[in-house]
């Protein structure tokens, strides 16, 4: 069996190294690596895959919390479990606050808690990474969410809506817009006064509208809407007209609530872990864990019961918290298989050793003997988790009830199972009266609060009068491309050359498909030239709003959103994934060449090279060139040739300056030294140093982009 997990222990004490070998060396799923200095450990990490680091904070070349800081600064994506001395527990707690997954006290560490700390350290790290990725994808999706626009003359008038707003409200556009007062029947009762007051003030005083409120659709579903509006002055001195946009932010609100709930539960888990560390007796531990589950995680009732070995196989309640009012005393649970009261979640969990979940107590047959009382007490869903000793024998059960049906998500179930496992382990430690206090999963999650504050896209608007070919681009559209209002052309014929020639057939065909009735709406993602000469990716969406008397298209309007950053990120990530897959079956030279080919595409370049800087930091060894460079452009000296950097040209400026260097006018550089015979002509270039630690080990360069290189190219090449 090949090890699936590689652990690196950075520890200089031979005795502690030997203990780690004894505790982990016989596990076939683990591969152990050791380093006695931080610098040695960092070198091992750079050369091989490491899944988790066991880190002694006091090493010959680094001391105290600075050791963790240095490790995280260079390898932030590897989980770390800190090893501290008997008198350094406070240092371990500080390390967890600074990003370590856990800490273990030397002398209080055994095979069990070391294995658990490694397992949960990796699991927590993977979960945090997946959550961050999920958050980033959700935020990006919201940037291109469909939005609608609206107008309102007065708080007593009837608004004008775009079609998308009808969809948000769940109304039929054919029925027309309701008056603003009539919206009271659609807006959530708790939000109407806020909306009405905000709109009234905006119309009376000319203030900007920015509000979130709930909408009750005809199917009784509730959606969250965010509306923003600007006042437009009335020439007659009356109330202000409002013009604005609105967006359905329901999914963002749900995600925000789910994240808040998850963070609340994770904080509760963290508090429970601290309680496990401080507990001095079993009853106090049980009482406190139940309290935390209710007060901090927000559950309605939590209680623990022990499986008695009497004739009736009674489940004896030993601790509880939350809203009880006699429910537990009247429940009279059993874990016997031959009685009705032994067929509930608690009895089944004890007998099977598996978690039993009830998503709706109003309908689940398992709850028949207790259904009426449970519903009267406000319990709608719940979970029964077995408590097991170190030999996996079930000795009790932890029961947790929620006030909402279907509240027990897979993530919550996993968290509660982890909590029950920790509780059972803590009880075992207390019962054994072990002198060494168990450090059990301290600070399970780093205190990280993610925000899902949703921002309405800062969209530019455009209008095309088809008959006259007139194009009108608003100020935001100009600003998005770096122009001042009025600089962009005002006819379609003049506007077309601003679009990337490679994208022209795609977006023109989409526009024609819409105009010919083959598509319900016009949407396109394409590049437009900025004032600086670069290309910005833009998402455009539009529709016809007017026709001639003969039925021909007359007026075409829409919005445009800058999605350049998203596109660059997508392209870079796709390239990285392709290279990771490519690296599995190819050599280093093939991988380097494939990397150059990808960077050429990302930066729109036509030449690319990668050369190694030898250990003396004075000699360059020519290594490889992109496929296109070798095939079409360059016949100069090849791989293996060495250059003294003092004799090399301007392409080594990045070594001298230790940063990426752009030469957008290569021929005008006073210190260039010319090219050898057979070398491709260079018009402009971008050269990036590749660091390993603080040392430059290679340089990667691309050249001959049709327009000047800029910081975004540096990001793509880096």
Which token pair is 180?
Answer: 């603003």
- Band of residue 446 on the pLDDT scale cut at 50, 70, 90: very low
N residues, the chain: 718
Strand order in the sheet with 222-232: 160-161, 147-152, 241-248, 222-232, 209-216
Question: Residues 561-590: pLDDT tens digits?
Answer: 888 888 888 877 887 888 788 777 888 888
Which residue do the tokens 């007060």 mark?
295
Whole-angstrom Cα distance, residue 639 to residue 626? Answer: 12
CA pseudo-torsion sign 368, 369, 373, 379: negative
The DSSP code for 354 is: S
Residue 697 has pLDDT above 70, yes or no: yes
Percent of residues, the chain, with pLDDT higher than 70: 88
The DSSP code for 521 is: S
The number of beta carbons lying within 10 Å of the beta carbon of residue 242 is 24
Percent of residues, the chain, with pLDDT higher than 90: 6
CATH assignment of 5-142?
Answer: 3.40.50.2300
Residue 14 has pLDDT above 70, yes or no: yes
Which token pair is 667?
Answer: 């021929």
CATH assignment of 460-562?
Answer: 3.30.450.20
The DSSP code for 177 is: P
The DSSP code for 98 is: T
- Band of residue 277 on the pLDDT scale cut at 50, 70, 90: low
* CATH 3.30.450.20-classified regions of the chain: 147-248, 460-562
Judging by beta carbons within 10 Å of its beta carbon (0-12, 13-18, 19+), is residue 161 exposed, middle or buried? buried
Helices (H), 608-710: 627-628, 653-657
- Which residue would you say has higher pLDDT here, 164 or 600? 600
Question: Residues 326-371: pLDDT tens digits?
Answer: 788 788 888 988 888 888 888 898 899 999 988 998 899 888 888 8
Which residue do the tokens 């895959």 mark?
49
Whole-angstrom Cα distance, residue 434 to residue 123? Answer: 28
- Which residue would you say has higher pLDDT here, 238 or 394? 394
- Band of residue 10 on the pLDDT scale cut at 50, 70, 90: very high
pLDDT at 253: 77
The DSSP code for 191 is: H
- Which residue would you say has higher pLDDT here, 457 or 595? 595
Classify domain 147-248 by CATH architecture. Answer: 2-Layer Sandwich (3.30)
Question: Residues 639-660: pLDDT tens digits?
Answer: 777 878 887 778 788 888 889 9
Mean pLDDT over each residue of the chain, to the nearest integer: 82
Whole-angstrom Cα distance, residue 244 to residue 214? Answer: 17
- Which residue would you say has higher pLDDT here, 325 or 28? 28
Do 266 and 415 meet the contact criterion of CB atoms below 8 Å apart?
yes
Q: What is the pTM of this model?
A: 0.33
Strands (E), 138-286: 147-152, 160-161, 209-216, 222-232, 241-248
pLDDT at 136: 54
Task: Give me the torsion for CA of 274, 275, 277, 279, rounded to 10°.
Answer: 160
Rounded to the nearest angstrom, the gap between the alpha carbon of residue 437 and the centroid of all alpha carbons in its chain is 36
Residue 440 has pLDDT above 60, yes or no: no
Strand order in the sheet with 301-307: 315-322, 301-307, 394-402, 381-388, 356-358
pLDDT at 60: 93
Most confident segment among 114-128, 451-465, 521-535, 667-681: 521-535
* CATH 3.40.50.2300-classified regions of the chain: 5-142
* CATH 3.30.450.40-classified regions of the chain: 255-432, 568-717
CA nearest neighbour of 16 among 50, 54, 42: 54
Classify domain 568-717 by CATH architecture. Answer: 2-Layer Sandwich (3.30)
Q: Which of 257-271, 336-350, 475-489, 551-565 has the lowest mean pLDDT?
A: 257-271
Whole-angstrom Cα distance, residue 317 to residue 386? Answer: 14
Rounded to the nearest angstrom, the gap between the alpha carbon of residue 554 and the centroid of all alpha carbons in its chain is 44
The DSSP code for 366 is: G
Fold of 255-432: Beta-Lactamase (3.30.450)
Whole-angstrom Cα distance, residue 679 to residue 668? Answer: 18
């Amino acid at each position: 069996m090949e090890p699936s997990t590689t652990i690196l222990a950075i520890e200089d004490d031979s005795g502690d190294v030997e203990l780690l070998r004894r505790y982990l060396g016989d596990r076939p799923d683990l591969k152990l690596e050791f380093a006695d200095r931080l610098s040695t450990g960092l070198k091992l990490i750079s050369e091989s895959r490491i899944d988790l680091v066991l880190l002694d904070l006091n090493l010959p070349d680094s001391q105290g919390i600075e050791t963790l800081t240095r490790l995280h600064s260079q390898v932030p994506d590897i989980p770390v479990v800190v090893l501290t001395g008997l008198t350094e527990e406070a240092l371990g707690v500080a390390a967890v606050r600074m990003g370590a997954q856990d800490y273990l006290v030397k002398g209080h560490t055994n095979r069990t808690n070391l294995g658990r700390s490694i397992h949960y350290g990796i699991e927590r790290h993977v979960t945090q990474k997946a959550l961050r990725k999920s958050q980033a994808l959700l935020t990006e999706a919201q940037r291109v969410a469909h939005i609608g626009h609206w107008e309102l003359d007065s708080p007593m008038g009837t608004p004008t809506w775009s079609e998308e707003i009808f969809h948000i409200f769940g109304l039929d556009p054919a029925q027309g817009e309701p008056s603003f007062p009539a919206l009271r029947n659609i807006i959530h009762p708790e939000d109407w006064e806020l909306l009405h007051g905000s709109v009234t003030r905006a119309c009376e005083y000319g203030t900007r509208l920015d509000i979130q409120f709930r909408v009750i659709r005809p199917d009784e579903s509730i959606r969250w809407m965010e509306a923003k509006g600007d006042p437009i002055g009335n020439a007659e001195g009356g109330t202000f007209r409002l013009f604005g946009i609105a967006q359905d932010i329901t999914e963002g609100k749900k995600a925000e609530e789910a994240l808040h709930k998850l963070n609340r539960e994770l904080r509760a888990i963290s508090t429970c872990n601290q309680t496990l560390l401080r507990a001095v007796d079993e009853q106090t531990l049980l009482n406190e864990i139940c309290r935390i589950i209710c007060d901090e995680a927000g559950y309605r009732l939590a209680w623990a019961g022990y499986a008695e070995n009497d004739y009736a196989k009674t489940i004896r309640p030993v601790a509880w918290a939350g809203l009880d009012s006699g429910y537990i005393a009247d429940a009279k649970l059993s874990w016997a298989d031959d009685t009705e009261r032994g067929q509930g979640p608690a009895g089944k969990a004890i007998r099977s050793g598996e978690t039993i979940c009830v998503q709706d107590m109003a309908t689940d047959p398992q709850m028949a003997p207790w259904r009426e009382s449970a519903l009267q007490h406000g319990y709608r869903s719940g979970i029964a988790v077995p408590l097991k000793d170190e030999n996996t024998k079930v000795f009790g059960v932890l029961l947790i009830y929620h006030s909402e049906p279907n509240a027990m998500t897979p993530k919550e179930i996993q968290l509660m199972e982890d909590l029950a496992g920790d509780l059972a382990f803590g009880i075992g430690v207390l019962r054994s009266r072990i002198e060494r206090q168990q450090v059990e999963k301290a600070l399970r999650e780093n205190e990280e609060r993610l925000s899902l504050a949703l921002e309405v896209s800062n969209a530019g608007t455009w209008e095309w009068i088809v008959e006259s070919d007139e194009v009108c681009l608003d100020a935001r559209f100009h600003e998005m491309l770096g122009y001042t209002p009025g600089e962009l052309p005002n006819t379609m014929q003049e506007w077309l050359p601003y679009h990337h020639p490679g994208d022209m057939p795609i977006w023109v065909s989409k526009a024609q498909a819409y105009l010919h009735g083959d598509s319900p709406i016009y949407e396109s993602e394409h590049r437009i030239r900025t004032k600086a000469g670069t290309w910005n990716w833009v998402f455009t969406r539009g529709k016809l709003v007017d026709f001639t008397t003969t039925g021909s298209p007359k007026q075409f309007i829409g919005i445009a959103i800058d999605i350049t950053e998203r596109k660059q990120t997508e392209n870079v990530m796709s390239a990285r994934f392709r290279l990771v897959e490519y690296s599995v079956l190819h050599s280093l030279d093939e991988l380097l060449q494939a990397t150059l080919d990808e960077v050429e595409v990302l930066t729109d370049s036509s030449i690319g090279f990668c050369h190694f800087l030898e250990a003396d930091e004075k000699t360059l060894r020519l290594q490889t060139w992109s496929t296109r460079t070798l095939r079409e452009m360059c016949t100069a000296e090849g791989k293996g040739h060495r250059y003294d950097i003092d004799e090399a040209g301007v392409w080594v400026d990045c070594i001298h300056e230790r940063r990426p260097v752009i030469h957008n006018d290569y021929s005008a550089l006073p210190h260039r030294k010319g090219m050898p015979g057979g070398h491709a002509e260079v018009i402009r270039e971008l050269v990036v140093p590749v660091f390993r630690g603080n040392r430059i080990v290679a340089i990667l360069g691309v050249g001959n982009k049709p327009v000047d290189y800029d910081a975004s190219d540096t990001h793509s090449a880096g």
